[in-house]
Amino acid sequence: MWLPFTQMSDYERDPLIIKSGEGVTVTDIYGNTYLDGYSSLWLNVHGHRKKELDEAIQVQLQSIAHSTLLGAANIPSILLAEKLVELAPENLSRVFYSDSGATAVEIAVKMAYQYWQNKGLKRKKRFVTVSNGYHGDTVGTMSVGSIELYHKVYTSLLFDALVIPFPAVYRHPSGDEDIVKEESLRTLRALFKERHEEIAGMVLEPMIQGAGGMNVMPPGYLKEVELLCKKFNILLIVDEVATGFGRTGKMFAVEHENIQPDLLTVAKGLTGGYLPVAATVATEEIYEAFYGDYEEMKTFFHGHSYTGNQLGCAVALANLEIFEKERLVAQATEKAEFLKELLVEVKQLPYVGDVRQCGLMCGIELVKNQLTKEPFPLTDRVAYHATLKMRELGLLTRPLGDVIVLMPPLATSKEQLAEMVAILMEGIQTVTRELVEL
Ligand SMILES: *Cc1c(COP(=O)(O)O)cnc(C)c1O
C-alpha cells in the first residue's frame, strides 16, 4: 500500500494497523488500544460501532446497496436531502451529492463558476480565498487552497486564485484581534472594489481553518466577509467539511455568526465517520440558474459514480437522528467548555506557544521560544515526534506542522477528554525535554 499524506519511510519505521474499534477507542493487530483523539481524521462523531449506525446499514442492505443518481433518485438520498435542507441555513434548499470533501468543494467551485456563465455575467470567473486555507487535494480544490507545503509543487497546474491574508492573531506583531481582523478585511474590501466584476466567488472555512493549523477567526470577521460578498455580488462558499455537524459547538459553524452562504459543503461528519458521502448545498437561486430546457445548455454536467449511495445516505440519516435524540450539539458545547479548562494547563507547558480552540477542534502550537515565538527547526519535527510518543501512551492524533491536533469524537466522555489531555501533555513534555537535552 501507499498511504495518503504519508512519507512511507516514516510509516515503515512506525507502522500501525488497526483491527477494530469500540466507542472512542481503536485497537491494533497486536491488541494495543488507543483513544481516537483525532476522530479517525476528523470524521467520527458517536464513536466506533455505534449500534444505531451499524443497524442502519444492515437494514438498508435488505433493500439495495447502490443505484445511480444520474437521472434517477433513491429513497435514502431524498430523505437525507430533506434533512440537510432542514438543518442548513434557511436560504439553502438544494442538495447535490458527492463522495468526499474535495469533490463537494470542487462542485461548489464549478457551480459558482457556471452560475455566472449561465446568468450571462461572463467575466465573473475568478475566486478569492484566504491564506492557509484547505479544501481538498484535487486540482480544483488545491487551486482555491493555499497551503504552501501541499500545493507548491503543483503551482503551474493550478488556476490562479486571489489570496487575502487569514486574520491569524498569534503570529501578528500586534497580537490584537481587532487590528488583525481589520487588516485582512481592508485587503478584501480593496480587492472586491477593484475586481468584483471578474470575481465569481469567495471560498473559505468558516470560524476555524483545519488543515492550515487550527486557526481561529476573530469574532465578527466572517460576518463582515458575508456583507462584503453581498455588497459586491460575489458568491460566498463556506467549506464546512471539517466544521459541520457539531464539531465547533453549533450544528454548522456559520451559525456562530448567523451567516447565510450561497453554497455550503459538508462531508467528514455527515455519516458519523462511517461511509464516504458528501454534499454541496445551494440556494434556490443558484439551482434556478441551471434550470431550463436541455437546449439552453445550462445543465450541470458533473457527477460521480457513487453519488447518493444508499448505504451512505442511510447511515447519514441515522447519524442525524442521533444528533437530535442525544441533543449532541448542546453536549458538544458543554464538552468544549470542559476541554477549554483542561487546555489551560497545556498552555502553561514550556514550549507551548499557542492553544487555539473552536468547540471540539483544538490546535496546540509548539515553539522553541515562547517569548519570541521562534519555531523549532523544521528538521526537529517536534510535533510529529510528540504524536508518536502519544501513540505509545495510548492516544492517536496527527500533527499539522508544529501544531498538534486534538479533535475528539463528540461522544467522548469528560473522563476520556481528561485522559486524552493528560497523555497529550506527557507526550509534549517528554519530546520537548529530549530535544532540549540533545
Ligand atoms: C478534510 C477537508 C476537505 C477534504 O475532504 P476529503 O474528504 O478529505 O476530500 C475539504 N475541506 C476541509 C475544510 C477539510 O477539512
Q: What is the domain-level CATH number for residue 307?
A: 3.40.640.10
Q: Does residue 203 have its Cβ closer than 6 Å to ligand 1?
A: no
In tens, the pLDDT along 178-220 reads: 999 999 999 999 999 999 999 999 999 999 999 999 999 999 9
Q: Ligand 1 mean position to 182 CA, how many Å?
A: 28
CA-nearest residue, atom 8 of ligand 1: 101
- Mean pLDDT over 423-437 rounds to 93
Structural domain harbouring 117: 54-325
Per-residue burial over 225-253, b = 16 or more CB atoms within 10 Å of its CB, e = otherwise: bbebbeebebbbbbbbbbbbbbbbbbbbb
280 and 414 housed in the same domain: no
In tens, the pLDDT along 42-70 reads: 999 999 999 999 999 999 999 999 999 99
375 and 232 housed in the same domain: no
Q: Does residue 57 have its Cβ closer than 6 Å to ligand 1?
A: no
Question: Of the residues 325, 346, 367, which one is the last residue of a structural domain?
Answer: 325
Please answer whether residues 313 and 121 qualify as being in contact, where contact means their C-beta atoms are separated by less than 8 angstroms: no
Q: Which ligand 1 atom is the nearest neighbour of the CA of 211? A: 15
Residue 21 placed within a domain: no
Question: CA-to-CA distance for 337 and 353, rounded, in angstroms?
Answer: 21
Partner residues linked to 282 by β-bridges: 94, 263
248 and 116 housed in the same domain: yes
Q: Which ligand 1 atom is the nearest neighbour of the CA of 243? A: 13
Ligand 1 pocket mutation pick from 41, 109, 241, 277 by most atoms within 8 angstroms of CB: 241
173 and 252 housed in the same domain: yes
Task: Using the predicted structure, report yes or no on whether residue 387 has a pLDDT greater than 90.
Answer: yes
246 and 128 housed in the same domain: yes
Q: Ligand 1 mean position to 299 CA, how many Å?
A: 26
Question: CA-to-CA distance for 392 and 384, rounded, in angstroms?
Answer: 13
Question: Of the residues 270, 296, 325, which one is the last residue of a structural domain?
Answer: 325
In tens, the pLDDT along 394-426 reads: 999 999 999 999 999 999 999 999 999 999 999
Q: Ligand 1 mean position to 102 CA, how many Å?
A: 6
Q: Which of 145-149, 228-232, 385-389 has the lowest mean pLDDT?
A: 145-149
Q: How distant is the alpha carbon of residue 311 from its chain centre?
A: 23
Torsion-angle region of residue 68: left (phi > 0), alpha (psi -120 to 50) or beta?
A: beta
Per-residue burial over 90-115, b = 16 or more CB atoms within 10 Å of its CB, e = otherwise: eebbbbbbbbbbbbbbbbbbebbbbb
What one-letter code names the amino acid at 392?
E
251 and 333 housed in the same domain: no
216 and 312 housed in the same domain: yes
Residue 8 placed within a domain: no
Residue 15 placed within a domain: no
Q: How far is CA 250 from CA 71, 92, 253, 288, 361, in A?
A: 35, 17, 6, 29, 12
Residue 48 placed within a domain: no
Question: CA-to-CA distance for 275 and 95, rounded, in angstroms?
Answer: 18
Question: CA-to-CA distance for 73 and 424, rounded, in angstroms?
Answer: 46
- Total tally of structural domains belonging to the chain: 2
Q: Does residue 210 have its Cβ closer than 6 Å to ligand 1?
A: yes
Residue 165 placed within a domain: yes
Residue 22 placed within a domain: no
Question: CA-to-CA distance for 207 and 130, rounded, in angstroms?
Answer: 12
Question: Of the residues 264, 293, 325, which one is the last residue of a structural domain?
Answer: 325
312 and 387 housed in the same domain: no
CA-nearest residue, atom 10 of ligand 1: 135
Per-residue burial over 129-152, b = 16 or more CB atoms within 10 Å of its CB, e = otherwise: bbbbbbbbbeebbbbbbbbeeebe
Q: What is the pLDDT of residue 437?
A: 76
In tens, the pLDDT along 101-121 reads: 999 999 999 999 999 999 999
- Mean pLDDT, the chain, rounded, equals 97
**Predicted confidence band of residue 148 (pLDDT cuts 50, 70, 90):** confident
Residue 215 placed within a domain: yes
Q: Does residue 226 have its Cβ closer than 6 Å to ligand 1?
A: no
154 and 131 housed in the same domain: yes
CATH assignment of the domain containing 415:
3.90.1150.10
Is this model's pTM higher than 0.85 or not?
Answer: yes
Q: Where are the alpha helices (DSSP H) in 264-309?
A: 284-289
The edge-to-edge listing of strands for the beta sheet with 199-204 is 92-98, 278-283, 263-266, 235-239, 199-204, 126-130, 162-164
**Predicted confidence band of residue 438 (pLDDT cuts 50, 70, 90):** low
151 and 98 housed in the same domain: yes
Q: What is the grid cell recorded at 32?
A: 494495543
Residue 150 placed within a domain: yes
242 and 259 housed in the same domain: yes
Please answer whether residues 310 and 66 qualify as being in contact, where contact means their C-beta atoms are separated by less than 8 angstroms: yes
Listed residue (180, 149, 147, 283) closest to 188, CA to CA: 180
Q: Does residue 241 have its Cβ closer than 6 Å to ligand 1?
A: yes
152 and 263 housed in the same domain: yes
Q: What is the grid cell recorded at 335?
A: 464538552
CA dihedral in degrees (86, 92, 95, 99; nearest 10)? -100
Q: Ligand 1 mean position to 210 CA, how many Å?
A: 9
Q: Which ligand 1 atom is the nearest neighbour of the CA of 141? A: 10
Q: Does residue 238 have its Cβ closer than 6 Å to ligand 1?
A: no
Q: How many CB atoms lie within 10 A of CB 313?
A: 28
Q: What is the pLDDT of residue 74?
A: 98
Q: Does residue 109 have its Cβ closer than 6 Å to ligand 1?
A: no
* Secondary structure (3-state) at 235: strand
